[in-house]
Structures are given as structure tokens and as C-alpha cells.
Structure 1
């Protein structure tokens, strides 16, 4: 499968997946290799098991992660897009100079991931790319248990990535950021949809566009309820995040979130400014035909 050239320049996932090499690095991927009608190697992207095998291979090849496994049904995110987020977020820390050498590296940089899930993708990519110290949070105890297994099974992550459970589902930063604690950056993939029906309808449209004939309830990237939807969807979630961020203005450098719907940007930008943010940025990320935005604000 061809990956687009519009990925961030520091994103290592440019061009085509080198599936033969990846399957040599991660043997379980080999059984999922198929040929397209054009005779090119690919995998069945409608199969969650194949997608997870590809992710495990990518993490092993590019990030030296030798064990990566998810509980059944948990979100298995596309790694190139997640890597793009981290590299664009790194540009915020670099300021005006975004060449590779200007991005601050090492454990003096602390990243907080709101909703790390079982996959732990953002902390893995951030730590292995830049050496940042990372804290992942989630409301789901099973997700955090699976994420902890990933940390313990991969020595490069031990002591570099830690986890905290958010025990109050109505809060984002409260109960997570401790008194006197400093983070240079927060990241978040909010629940996109406003209801289970919205999530199901979007999944059906995607599968129809891809001409997938199997179960419409099947998700190639899976996902638990709280990973996919919440009342009010991403707009309400990010608005809540902006409201709470005021209380931690002196403890966080840049607050950021992925925004999947461009129509939400104007409202969220205004909300951040009204909350007192001194700087708000909208960074467009493009992966082939799909585009999304990173909203960033600081006080």
C-alpha cells in the first residue's frame, strides 16, 4: 500500500510499506500478506488481526518495540498518522526552527497523553523518537493493564513511560496533573462521535467506501465505546479540555488535541481564546485523501 508524501518530513513512515522486510522482522505478519489485483503486496486492512500484526511489525522495525499486544476489541490505531501528530507537536516545542536538530530531546521534556488506551501509541512514538518522558492516562483499568504489560515487556520504555488512571470520567486534567508538576506538552485523541449510532453509521460508510462486504459491525481498527464516542462527541470533549486547562495554565506548556472535523475548529479556537490562551494554533495534517487538524493552545 502506498503512503502519501504529505506526511511530516520527520515521519519515518514515508512511501510504501516494506511488507517483506516487516514480515521478516515480525513473523506473524507473514501469514497476512496478500497480493492486490495489480500484483502488489498488501494485507487485508478489513481484518483487525492483520492490522494489529502490521502495527506490531512497524513498532518493532522503527521503534524497537518487541512486544505489542492489545486485548480483543480495543482500538488499534494507524501508526503513520499517530506519528504525524507527535512530529507536528514536536514542532510546537521547537518554535520557529523546525529542523530536526532544533526539537528538544531527552527526559527533560514531559508529555501527558489523555486517553492513551491499551495501545500506548503516542508515548511509544514520543519516547522512541525524541527520548521524552511520558505519562499515559485512561479511565479504563483493563486498557491501562494492557499498556503496563507493553511497558514491562520493552526495556526501552521502562522508567520512561508511566500510567495513571482517571477515576472521574467527567474530568480530564483534574486528578491527573499533580501539584507542582510540569508538562511541556499534552496530546489527545478525543472520542470523535456523539453516540454509538453515530460511530456505527460512520463505520458503515467507511466500509461501504472500501467495498467491504463482511459484517458492517466489524471495525478494522476496533475500539471500545469510550474510545469512539461520548455525549457531544469531540467538540464537547475538547471544549471541556479547554475549560479545565485554565486551572493548569502554569503547569503545561502546550495543550493539544486532534480535531477530526474542520467545522469544529472555529468554535474551539474561539473557546481557547475566550479561556485566556495567549496563543492558539491550527496545524493541518494530511495523510493521502484524509486530513485532520491539531489544535494547540497555551497560556
Structure 2
């Protein structure tokens, strides 16, 4: 449902929407083609549009304050959809807990996500008492969701990720915690570092803004701006590790994204993802990082935009093509024969007959490892399935001249690249 909605939001039929939600009618005006447009520079019109879309498409009732941010539904939905794709890859468990940092007066992310996913739960924080009070009203107005969203007050001086500390998680979720206890975090931090930056941003716009901004200063300003806020999240996450599966944040500036990728690389965090969310003329970016050994598909972690290629993570899917016409054709059976001869490795046949999963529990394929095994052969070559694999990959024969490997799990990229070099060398 959510993916099709995202497409429909590219061209909203305001006349049809007003028939469903009559309070929208006073804000429409007829255009040259006989259809209807909305006056986006009217703050009441924007609030009514948000209420209409949330009611029609998600069955949500919300109260929106005049002096707080009015969340555009299409933009917020895009972030939820991307998080959904992330969770599908990394958290097969149906009972998902998410953390919304700075939930705002609408609590838009918990309400959207929980209306789409019947098995999702949220912890939602904010430092603003007015926003929390209104968020509580919005949750109460949606009785099917209120048991799955828990609001928590925090302060500007507290750690951003304080709810992920062991004692806090034990109190909130119980002493028997799975790993990770929280599948993901979401955040839409304030863009600006001070009121002067807000003024400069407004003055530097070459045209009038498409829509009015009704946010309070507490929602728009944080010391150092959004980049400093997320950098603090990165610093705190290093101590928390897998308390959260994926730490994520929405960003309003591409410059912030580039700066934060530099921080991740400086900290040695190579398991990260970036994406670009485009809705009409609005562009936003998301950054995510993890201390888990689960590796994301490139379609999720590496955006197609050429402008982002230099800061994208290294690819997790690699291909090797053979250009020698005299070489042996690649076959599925040839892959199996090579894998069978690797100690401390098992393989699984997959539904796709051209694809196989290889699970290695030790690095045994390098020359150094083979020499070590030859000098000191182990008494038992049995595999302990309870031990953690050093690398899990899926290997495919694309055609008789092309081999592909995808990194599925593992902490060390060097091990993955080493295994790929060994395998492609053996097969080609």
C-alpha cells in the first residue's frame, strides 16, 4: 500500500481529496485546466491537507498546532518506506521496536509506521513539553495504535540515545532483551544552528518558498545544526553498539550528508547506507549505520545519483566477467565443487537454481591458512553451527561468462574480498 501511495502523491487530485475531506474545500482554487490546486503558502491549508491525507490513506485522526511544524505526509512516508525496506533485510522477527528521536507534536513517524505495520511498536522522545502533550493527544485519538507507541520526555542536556542505555532498555522492554532490542532509530533533527542561519536561509532563497514554515525554534534550531546533532548520535552509538540495529537520521542538507559520511569513515564504521528521497521539488537524504554483521543490498545502501557516488559505501555485490572465449563456461555445479573443498565452510542450495549461499566459519582458503592447516591439521573438521560465521555470501551464475557474489553477513570487508578473490580465481 505505501509504495503505491508514494507514487500517487506525485500528483494529488485535490478536488477528489476535498470530496472525501470537506474541510479542505475552502483552500482550493481552480486552475487553468479545470482542476484544483492548493494554496501551499497558507499554513491552515497545509495543516488541513496533512489531516486529509492521514485520514484518507491511513485512517489517522490528528491535531495540528499552529505554532509547530506541519509534517508533509509524502516526505515523511518516504522515510518510513525506506526504513521498512531496511527492516525486511535485517530484522526477520515480526515483533519490531523502533525509536523515534524528536517525535514532534504530530508523532508522525510512529503513527504512520504503526498504521502500516501491525506488529511494530515505538518508543518516541521529545524535549518540548508542548509537542509531547499534543503527541499524546494524537496517539489517544487513534485507539488501535495507542498501545504500541510510548512517549517519553527527555532534556536537551541528556544523551540523545539515552533510551538505548542498558538500564533504560531493561526498564522499558523488560530484562530479557533480544539483540538488537531496538531494530532501528529514526530522527529528523533541526536543520539550523542559530536564528541567524534561519534568517540567512530564508533570504538566500531565489524564489518564494513553496510552503510556509510554522515550526517553533525548538524544532528548527540545535547547537551546530543537524550535522552536529547526528555526529553526537554517531559518537554515542559507538558505546551502545548493537543496542540498536540501525541508527538513522533524515537530513535536509546534502553538505551534512557528506560531512557525516566522513565522520563514519574516520570512526572506522564501514557498515553504513545513504539514500536520497525525492518528492516533487523537495530532496532529503537519509544516513544509516550499524554495528551488526548484516550487510545491505546495494539497491538499498547505494543511491543511483552520480552526485552521491563518492560518499556511498563500497558495493556489497561484485561481478567478474570472463572475456576469454576459450575459457570454461561457468556453471552452478562448478561453484559447488569449489565450495565443497573449502574446510570449515558449508553451503545451502537456494530456490534460484543458479544461486547458492556459502557460509564460512573460518578463513581457510588463503595460502597462509592452507599452510597452517597442513602443518597443524585439526583433529575435528566438523562445523559448530552455533559459532558466528566470518562471512556469508550468495554466489550466482549470471551467464556462462559472468559470476556474481553478494555479501550477506560479516564484520570484515577484507575477508569478503579475500573469499571473492579465491572463488573467482578458482572458477575462472
1:247: how far off?
2.7
Stretches of structure 1 that go unaligned for 5 or more consecutive residues are 1-6, 97-102, 213-218
> Residues of 1 paired with 2:204 and 2:236: CA distance?
34
How has the CA–CA distance of structure 1 residues 128 and 221 changed in structure 2, closer, same or farther, with 3 Å as cutoff? Answer: farther
The 5-angstrom pairing of residues 56-205 of structure 1 reads 56-65=51-60, 67-95=61-89, 108-131=95-118, 132-175=120-163, 178-180=168-170, 181=173, 182-205=181-204
State the partner residue of 2:9.
14
State the partner residue of 1:239.
231
State the partner residue of 1:40.
35
1:157: how far off?
1.6
Deviates more, 1:127-136 or 1:29-38: 29-38
* Number of positions where the alignment pairs a residue of Structure 1 with one of Structure 2: 278
1:161: how far off?
1.2
Deviates more, 1:276-285 or 1:83-92: 276-285
Is the contact made by 2:193 and 2:222 (CA closer than 8 Å) also made in structure 1?
yes
Stretches of structure 2 that go unaligned for 5 or more consecutive residues are 174-180, 292-428
> Residues of 1 paired with 2:144 and 2:248: CA distance?
26
Is the contact made by 1:115 and 1:190 (CA closer than 8 Å) also made in structure 2?
yes
1:167: how far off?
2.5
Tell me the TM-score normalised to structure 1 length: 0.84
Q: Say if 2:240 is the partner of 1:248.
A: yes
Tell me the TM-score normalised to structure 2 length: 0.60
Deviates more, 1:277-286 or 1:48-57: 277-286
1:13: how far off?
4.1
Deviates more, 1:116-125 or 1:34-43: 34-43
How has the CA–CA distance of structure 1 residues 211 and 247 changed in structure 2, closer, same or farther, with 3 Å as cutoff? Answer: closer
How has the CA–CA distance of structure 1 residues 30 and 169 changed in structure 2, closer, same or farther, with 3 Å as cutoff? Answer: farther
The 5-angstrom pairing of residues 204-215 of structure 1 reads 204-206=203-205, 209-210=207-208
1:248: how far off?
2.2
> Residues of 2 paired with 1:78 and 1:136: CA distance?
19
1:38: how far off?
4.7
1:12: how far off?
5.8
Aligned-CA RMSD value = 2.4
Deviates more, 1:230-239 or 1:8-17: 8-17
How has the CA–CA distance of structure 1 residues 40 and 160 changed in structure 2, closer, same or farther, with 3 Å as cutoff? Answer: same
Deviates more, 1:127-136 or 1:72-81: 127-136
> Residues of 2 paired with 1:128 and 1:232: CA distance?
34
Is the contact made by 1:94 and 1:104 (CA closer than 8 Å) also made in structure 2?
yes
Is the contact made by 2:163 and 2:169 (CA closer than 8 Å) also made in structure 1?
no
Indicate the structure (1 or 2) with the bigger Cα radius of gyration.
2
* Equivalent position SS for 1:14: helix
Q: Say if 2:48 is the partner of 1:49.
A: no
How has the CA–CA distance of structure 1 residues 164 and 245 changed in structure 2, closer, same or farther, with 3 Å as cutoff? Answer: same
> Residues of 1 paired with 2:123 and 2:15: CA distance?
34
How has the CA–CA distance of structure 1 residues 198 and 152 changed in structure 2, closer, same or farther, with 3 Å as cutoff? Answer: same
> Residues of 1 paired with 2:236 and 2:290: CA distance?
13
Is the contact made by 1:139 and 1:169 (CA closer than 8 Å) also made in structure 2?
no
The structure showing larger relative contact order (alpha-carbon pairs under 8 Å, at least 6 residues apart) is 1
How has the CA–CA distance of structure 1 residues 105 and 220 changed in structure 2, closer, same or farther, with 3 Å as cutoff? Answer: farther
Is the contact made by 1:8 and 1:88 (CA closer than 8 Å) also made in structure 2?
no
How has the CA–CA distance of structure 1 residues 168 and 210 changed in structure 2, closer, same or farther, with 3 Å as cutoff? Answer: closer
Give CA deviations for 1:42-80 in whole Å, capped at 9, x if unaligned: 111001110000000000011101x21122210002110
How has the CA–CA distance of structure 1 residues 194 and 61 changed in structure 2, closer, same or farther, with 3 Å as cutoff? Answer: same
1:171: how far off?
2.4
* Equivalent position SS for 1:238: helix
1:8: how far off?
5.8
1:169: how far off?
3.5
1:111: how far off?
1.0
> Residues of 1 paired with 2:70 and 2:290: CA distance?
30
